[in-house]
Amino acid sequence: MFRSSPVHVFCLAFVALTAAAPAFCQTAAPAAAPALRVFDPSLVDKAVDPCQNFYRYSCNGWFKRNPLPPDQASYGRFTELYELNRLHLRQILEQAAVPSPNRTPNEQKIGDEYASCMDIAAIDKQGIAPLKPELDRIAALRSTDELPALLAHLHAIGVNAFFDSSANQDFANSNSMISFYNAGGLGLPERDYYTRTDAKSVEQRKQYVDHVHNIFVLAGESEAQAAQDAETVLTIETELAKASLTITEQRDPQNLNHPTDIASFGKELTHFSLAEYVAAIHAPAAGKINDTEPKFFAEFNTLLASTPIDQIRTYLRWHLLHSYANTSMPENFDHETWHFYAHILNGAEKEQDRWKRCTSRVDHEMGEALGQVYVAKYFPPEARQHALEMTLAIEQAMAKDIDSLDWMSPQTKIAATQKLHTVMNKIGYPNKWRDYSKLQIIRDEALGNQERVRQFDFARDLAKIGKPVDKDEWFMSPPTVNAYYDPQMNNVNFPAGYFQPPFFSDKEDDAANYGDMGSTIGHELTHGFDDEGRQYDKDGNLKDWWTKDDEARFNDRAECMVKQYDAIEAVPGVHLNGKLTLGENLADLGGLWLAWIAWQDKAQAEHVDMAAKSDGYTPEQRFWIAYAQQWCTQTRPEQLRTQAQTDPHAPDEYRTNTVLTDLPAFAQSFNCKKTDAMVNPKPCRVW
């Protein structure tokens, strides 16, 4: 589930997007479903020196077996498992799609939504008629005085125009849900796509204008009118982008914390009636809110006063079409959207099979209805218990690690340990499933269903304002192959879909499982103490619990990693952004170290013979190889470029090699020399 708020939920994995619509750490996968192992010695390339490039040493065999599929911008171990899960979901959905009086209400909803998505003939026959009522609403806009009510409706149906509003935990009081007003309204991935002046960025903006033009033509505009309107869209979005925070600035929650109240915020928006907007979205008419980006909303207010109403209509029309131009619209819209966002920006060569996209759509829209069936079939109670045991072991390792730090004062150690002991562990699936009884799904209304799902989610979100925080709520569906830490909830979340090979298996040894899944658990725990997470206290409040000296020492150590990743050139001319990726890099390094400590303790207690070899490798070597093999990934250059510019996760090769160079224990396991490439003479270390 995509969380439409500025509060960051930290995901483990990034896998290439192949659709235009944003998705929460969305993954995609090829058609094959091979047998998967956590530690696979057949993937190791012994022709490569592990002390020179451990990633290639561990993964070259996998690369040879797995050429990059044409429908993928990126394909790795996460997508291998995602494919297996998607096959399972497809079976569930195809069975649920068969009309039967014996279907449960949830089975009717997920089955009919899947059937409506798969019915291309009906979607093509309907054309854009299902969207005509919304296009007519926009066409009827005569002045900005009428905009608040219209924008409220568009936001409710998932149209990302100008800004968005949502319910979120108050930064100062995590037990309180308040309204957040967030910058939005862009069609390109993030604001710097509008401002960079290098040749590639200039070319991509031109290609974006061409894409907007093509969508307008498909919607019935003349070539000349569509060309003019596309330029209008770029102009408006560029002004919004310039006033927005950069993705690096957004990583600091202090930059997003601007509490005010509805009355005061409304007075600042002199050309937009906030009161009318609030009434139209059925949010509380008074009370505390957070204006996450004051500069942006000042520009929004100015833009409304200076922009002709026909251009505002054009902008709104584009975002409406853009929001639905995928599986809900005729194939020509769908393909044009894929062509720009998946092919041009990320390098995919072929559009994914329809069933894959429709399966992912239902998982995104009704993940807990679909996930409830999935869990019953594929996640037995003993799997949940094993996952919990490993999580508790990693937490014990972190307590041990905090106590051993030589740079942190006793005072801050006490607070850090209290925060660690307060972390809530959520594993597999919710204790209480989401209620979809008020959501109507009609079998032959693909676009109408998507519209109703968005209205359902929007209303459900805003209804949280003023109510107790539901700390049992999940923001990923149970079949998801990923995990996350929520800083304001102070919880770690590991969906059921993740606890399978190639990441975890009861049939493999602890060395492999701790090197792989253990590092993931440690990764999410470390997010509570990375450069963002550390700013929240044990209760999830944005509150400073560090001494000034400890904060300075943390920042000095973090800066080591910033410089380390800044030096990496992902593609010619594009370096990684060390500040953007800092949180994930800290979590990768800290998480792997915690897994190592936990496994070493367990191995010692069980008297594991560290000299004994299995498959030709010692237990320690198996640990490191299992870690590396989870990141085996093929990635197109276009996707690498996009990832380097927009994603807080470093590309997978650097998530492997760079982390390992900072851990002397790794070098010792493979007898690496100080002069080897996999040994950092001045290793970075925080946790």
DSSP letters for 365-391 = HSHHHHHHHHHHHH--HHHHHHHHHHH
Place of tokens 């003939």: 121
Q: What is the mean pLDDT of residues 662-684?
A: 97
Q: What is the pLDDT of residue 220?
A: 98
Q: Residue 570 carries which side chain, given as an amino acid letter?
A: A
Q: Is 84 exposed, middle or buried (0-12, 13-18, 19+ CB in 10 A)?
A: buried
For 331-348, write each residue's pLDDT tens digit.
999 999 999 999 999 999
**What are the structural domains, with CATH classification, of the chain?**
128-328 (1.10.1380.10), 381-432+472-687 (3.40.390.10)
Helix H or strand E segment including 10 = strand 10-11
Copy the structure tokens of residue 529: 């103490």
Of the pLDDT bands very low, low, confident and very high (cuts 50, 70, 90), residue 547 is: very high
Looking at residue 34, what is its pLDDT?
Answer: 56
For residues 72 and 80, is the Cβ–Cβ distance under 8 A? Answer: no
pTM, two decimals, is: 0.93
Question: Would you say residue 20 has pLDDT above 60?
Answer: no
How confident is the model at residue 13, as a pLDDT? 62
H-assigned helices in 463-543: 510-513, 519-527
Q: In the numeric block, which tokens belong to residue 480?
A: 């998801």
Q: What does the alpha-carbon distance between residue 145 and residue 147 come to, in Å, rounded to a whole number?
A: 6
What does the pLDDT look like over 129-144, one tens digit per residue? 999 999 999 999 999 9
Establish whether the linkage from the previous residue to 133 is cis, with ω within 30° of 0.
Answer: no
Identity of residue 278: V
Distance CA 603, CA 597 (A): 10
Bridge partners, 76 (sequence order): 633
CA distance 582 to 648: 8
Is the per-residue pLDDT at 201 higher than 90?
yes
- Check residue 416 and give its pLDDT: 98
Rounded Cα gap, residues 535 and 546, in angstroms: 9
3-state SS, one letter per residue, for 384-423? HHHHHHHHHHHHHHHHHHHHHCCCCCHHHHHHHHHHHHHC
Instruction: Please give the angle made by the CA atoms of 1, 490 and 260, to the nearest 5 degrees.
Output: 80
Alpha-carbon distance values, 204 to 15, 256, 339 (Å): 21, 29, 13
- How many contiguous H segments (helices) and E segments (strands) does the chain have? 27, 12
Residue 35: pLDDT band (50, 70, 90) is confident
Query: What is the sign of the dihedral through the CA atoms of 639, 53, 524 and 435?
Result: positive
pLDDT of residue 10: 66
Q: Is residue 42 scored above 50 in pLDDT?
A: yes
Answer whether residue 18 shows pLDDT above 50. no
Structure tokens at 659: 């982390």
User: Taking the chain, what is the end-to-end CA distance rounded to the nearest angstrom?
Assistant: 30
DSSP code at position 286? S
Q: What are phi and psi of 674, to 5 degrees?
A: -60, -25
Distance CA 177, CA 191 (A): 28
Q: Decide if 672 contacts 678 (C-beta within 8 A).
A: yes
Burial class of residue 142 (count of CB atoms within 10 Å of its CB; 0-12, 13-18, 19+): exposed
Check: CB of residue 419 under 8 Å from CB of residue 537.
yes
Sequence-separated (6 or more) residues with CB below 8 Å from residue 4: 164, 166, 182, 461
CA atoms within 13 A on the CB side of 178: 26
Nearest to 442 by CA among 93, 104, 108: 108
CA 472, CA 432: separation in Å to the nearest integer? 8
- pLDDT above 50 (res 30): no
Judging by beta carbons within 10 Å of its beta carbon (0-12, 13-18, 19+), is residue 124 exposed, middle or buried? middle
Q: Which two tokens stand for residue 291?
A: 């204006």
Q: What is the pLDDT of residue 15?
A: 41
Does residue 29 carry a pLDDT above 80? no
Residue 11's pLDDT band, with cuts at 50, 70 and 90, is low
Find out whether 557 and 686 touch, Cβ atoms under 8 Å.
yes
Mean pLDDT to the nearest integer, 400-409 = 96
Neighbours of 671 (CB within 10 A): 9
- CA gap 642, 189 in Å, rounded: 9
What's the pLDDT tens digit per position in 268-324? 999 999 999 999 999 999 999 999 999 999 999 999 999 999 999 999 999 999 999
H runs (alpha helix) in 516-618: 519-527, 548-566, 582-605
Instruction: Assign residue 105 a region (left: φ > 0; alpha: ψ between -120 and 50; beta: otherwise).
Output: alpha
Please check the confidence at residue 8 and state whether its pLDDT lies above 90.
no
Q: Which of 458, 511, 472, 114 shows the shortest CA–CA distance to 280?
A: 458
DSSP 115: H
Please say whether the beta carbons of 411 and 527 come within 8 A. no
Higher local confidence (pLDDT), 7 or 82: 82
Question: By mean pLDDT, which of 30-44, 70-84, 293-307, 555-569 is the weakest?
Answer: 30-44
Cα separation, 486 vs 533, in Å, equals: 9
**How does residue 654 score in pLDDT terms, banded at 50, 70 and 90?**
very high
Contact 68, 82 (CB under 8 A): no
542 touches 254 (CB < 8 A): yes
Contact, 163 vs 265, CB < 8 A?
A: no
Helix (H) or strand (E) holding 120: helix 120-126
Instruction: State residue 383's pLDDT score.
Output: 87
CB 499 within 8 A of CB 432: no
Q: Could you tell me which residues come within 8 angstroms of residue 280 by beta carbon, excluding any fewer than 6 positions away?
A: 148, 149, 152, 153
Phi first, then psi, for residue 571 (nearest 5°) are -135, 160
